[in-house]
Amino acid sequence: MCGIFCALSPPATRIQEDAELRDFLRSRGPDSSQDLTVCGSDPGYRCFFSAHVLHMRGLLTPQPLRDGAGNVLLWNGEVFAGLEAEPEENDTAAVSGRLESCRTAAEVLSVLAEVRGPWAFVYHQREQNFLWFGRDFLGRRSLLWRSTSGSLVLSSVAAQPTGSDGDWREVPAAGVFRVDLEEFGRTGSLSVEAFPWDGAAAAEPGSSPSDCQVVLNRDGLLLPSPVAPLNLSLPPPSGRSEPPPESRLSPPPSGRSEPPPESRLSAWEDLLAEAEWRRDEAERLIHVLNEAVRRRVQLAPPRPAGSASVAVLFSGGVDSMILAALADRHVPSHQPIDLLNVAFQRREPKPQKKKLQQAAGARTSDPFDAPDRLTGRAGLEELRSLSPDRKWNFVEINVTLEELQEARRRRIRHLLHPLDTVLDDSIGCAVWFAARGAGLVLEDGAPRAFTSSAKVILSGIGADEQLAGYSRHRVRFQTSGHQGLLQELSMELARISSRNLGRDDRVITDHNQFLHLALCVNPSAYASIPPPMRQSLRLCVNLSASASTYLPLRQSFHLDINPSTSHHTPASHRRASNLTP
């Protein structure tokens, strides 16, 4: 993980990070910080590079990394597969070595297309006089850009501007980009060539800086997409994948929020009847997830004895439970695993209402007993039964209103920038406090202060978008059937890079930690899942939208299923429900 920064400007203009921005970048990478300036002449330009490295794998490789040919690489990424690299080889060195041999644009694109893993990069190709930059297909690593006074600035993160000096945008994950430095030096104008991913959605209007011209590369070259097309095959009219009788699956009558208990029981019976057919797909999915977790967990930097090297953003919901169970397979049994569970303080009721509640005998609840806290505790007990010899540190991260307001003002709003919706703020605050890992753990029934030492954080981000986990997917299925649902999922995948991943990368890595999105390591595996596996939506009951997938997954872990306790609203649907503005 790294904080990277590059400023391209005319030779007489000197642009570099201000003190506040440099602080944000250093938080992402505290192990090594270096600057490098490259100046071109006839025509002239100036490139200032700055990198701040979090060492995770192989030998510590300071950046900016300059190879023997004078090329300069800023690399914020990981190579899980595709590009040939030894398990203990540093990713930056491996990528730099491959890029050094490239002479043409097609060769550069070929190297980038091989990388299986998250990345954002800036690359100065000295002999060809080009500046390349971009993000992976899903946009799993943050990279922002802006142009000002004829200069181009790229950065992993940006402090929220206080005046007119703004215009930061997220670099679209629609492809990679290239600036012809010879043309820039000669004309002084900023023209950027785009090399789109094959099959990717076009960049949204307004995604490039206002005075920066972005044009399709003149050769029409495309990056081969690392993501397989979405499986559009619909279920056959008969056979094991045939839906249960319509009477069991029809929407609830008008005025009812959910079907009667006997219909819900029938729905569960239908799920159980279909479980055998689903098991093969579920086991394939588990294998993909297992490999994604194993690769990262086994390369986690060692921590002191008794301290965790791996943590899970943990709500007790489907995605976090499965990630914790998979981590348990690969983390040595004598090492703890930290389960990070955040809750925000609820506002006290008004005095008059409080007196009425007390007069009625209502119990004064813990102000931090949010829904995710309750499901998290239930999930902890299930994990303990699954792996009783493991030490599970359930970290209760309680955030007061005052602490929330201070962190939001001082830090979080800058990390979220340029995203600024209420939802971005809500999720960003929850993720920032969870990743910080400072809270309480219970030991012998007594709480004690605890801060997670884990450098690798597993997150289920991306599960809902790929496995139809949102309530809107259920609504779309009800109104438009399988075809409408598939269109909705295609749209989800196309826009995921601009909605979630860059934001969460900026927020979590502020604590110099590595965010591992296990459910986004191999998106082709989820794209190929047949629609019936996403079909739990058709139940139209208050179950997790991923329940029918979760059922065989839980069976794969030999976990019990109790229908009477499995109808909680998915944690992903209420992530921010207890966050006070």
**Read out DSSP for 399-427?**
E-HHHHHHHIIIIIHHHHTT---HHHHHH
Q: What's the confidence (pLDDT) of residue 324?
A: 95
Q: Is residue 227 part of a domain?
A: no
How far is Cα of residue 471 from the mean position of the Cα atoms in its chain?
20
Sheet holding 72-77, edge to edge: 65-66, 72-77, 119-125, 130-135, 175-180, 191-196, 213-216
What is the DSSP secondary structure assignment for residue 498, as one 8-state letter? I
Q: Identify the pLDDT of residue 484.
A: 86
Residues 14 and 108 placed together within one structural domain of the fold: yes
The Cα 206–Cα 238 span in angstroms is 48
User: What is the distance between the alpha carbons of residues 336 and 305, in angstroms, rounded to a whole number?
Assistant: 10
Residues 310 and 166 in one domain: no
Pairing state of beta strands 392-399 and 337-344? parallel
| 274, part of any domain | no
Alpha helices in 250-363 (DSSP H): 261-297, 318-330, 351-359
CB within 8 A of 427, min separation 6: which ones?
503, 504, 575, 576
pTM of the model: 0.82
Task: Calculate the alpha carbon distances from 67 to 8, 99, 131, 175, 427 in Å.
Answer: 20, 10, 15, 25, 40
263 found inside a domain: no
User: Strands, E, within 108-253: which ranges?
Assistant: 119-125, 130-135, 144-148, 151-155, 169-170, 175-180, 191-196, 213-216
- In this predicted structure, what is the pLDDT of residue 471? 83
Residues of the domain holding 42? 2-216
Asked if 59 and 28 touch (Cβ cutoff 8 Å), the reply is no
* Number of domain units in the chain: 2
Question: For residue 332, with 0-12 CB atoms within 10 Å meaning exposed, 13-18 middle and 19 or more buried, which class applies?
Answer: exposed
Q: Which of 181, 216, 251 lies at the terminal end of a domain, its last residue?
A: 216
Residue 2 annotated in active site: yes
Report if residue 67 sits inside a domain: yes
Which of the following is catalytic: 2, 6, 102, 540?
2
State which H helix or E strand residue 519 sits in. Answer: none
The residue out of 155, 188, 216 marking a domain boundary is: 216
Opening angle at CA 557, ends 551 and 559, nearest 5? 65
CA distance linking residue 283 with residue 439, whole number of Å:
36
Query: Which of 185, 16, 55, 7 minimizes the C-alpha distance to 513?
Result: 55
- Torsion sign, CA atoms 463, 465, 469, 471: positive
Q: Which residue ranges in the chain fall short of pLDDT 50?
A: 164, 237-251, 254, 362-363, 535-553, 558-581
Please give the pLDDT value at position 128: 95
Cis link prior to 43 (omega < 30° from 0)?
yes
CA 51/CA 36 separation, integer angstroms: 9
Q: Which of 51, 63, 6, 43 is nearest to 25 (CA)?
A: 51
Query: What are the backbone dihedrals phi and psi of residue 401, each rounded to the nearest 5 degrees, phi first?
Result: -60, -40
Q: Helix/strand/coil (H, E, C) string of 108-125?
A: HHHHHHHCECCEEEEEEE
Which stretches of 444-541 are assigned E, i.e. beta strand?
Answer: 446-451, 456-459, 514-517
At residue 191, φ and ψ (nearest 5 deg) are -120, 130
Query: What CATH number is given to the structural domain containing 332?
Result: 3.40.50
The CB density around residue 114, as the number of other CB atoms within 10 Å, is: 16
Collapsing DSSP to helix, strand or coil, 130 comes out as: strand
By the 8 A CB rule, do 52 and 28 touch? yes
The predicted structure's pLDDT at residue 562: 37
Q: Which amino acid is residue 537, in one-letter code?
A: L
* C-alpha to C-alpha distance for 578 and 581, rounded to whole angstroms: 9
Nearest to 329, CA basis, from 289, 356, 281 = 289
Extract the tokens encoding 490: 């295609």
CATH of the domain at 90: 3.60.20.10
Compute the C-alpha angle 475/427/322, nearest 5°.
70
- Is 187 found in the same domain as 303? no
Q: Which of 216, 243, 268 is the last residue of a domain?
A: 216
Single-letter code of the amino acid located at 261? P
Residue 545's pLDDT is 34
Q: What is the pLDDT of residue 478?
A: 85
- Does some domain include residue 545? yes
Residue 478 lies in a domain: yes
Over the stretch 548-581, which tens digit does the pLDDT of each residue have?
A: 444 444 555 544 433 333 333 333 333 333 343 3
Q: Is 134 left (phi over 0), alpha (psi -120 to 50) or beta?
A: left
165 plus 302 within the same structural domain? no
In this structure, which amino acid lies at residue 32? Answer: S
Evaluate whether 345 touches 405 at the Cβ level (below 8 Å).
no
The span from the CA of 513 to the CA of 74, in Å, is: 18
Contact 305, 361 (CB under 8 A): no
CA distance linking residue 327 with residue 387, whole number of Å: 11
Spatial distance between the Cα atoms of 193 and 217, rounded to a whole number of angstroms: 5
Residue type, 560: D
Position 303, amino acid: R
Calculated CA dihedral for residues 49, 55, 60, 62, nearest 10 degrees: 10
pLDDT value, residue 160? 78
For residues 429 and 411, what is the distance between their CA atoms, to the nearest angstrom? 10
Residue 281 forms part of a structural domain: no
Cis amide prior to 235 (ω within 30 degrees):
no
Q: Report if residue 222 sits inside a domain.
A: no
Do residue 381 and residue 295 come from a single domain? yes
How do beta strands 130-135 and 119-125 pair?
antiparallel
37 shares a domain with 167: yes
318: amino acid identity, one letter? V
Indicate if 375 and 492 belong to the same structural domain: yes
Q: How far apart are CA 410 and CA 432, in angstroms?
A: 12
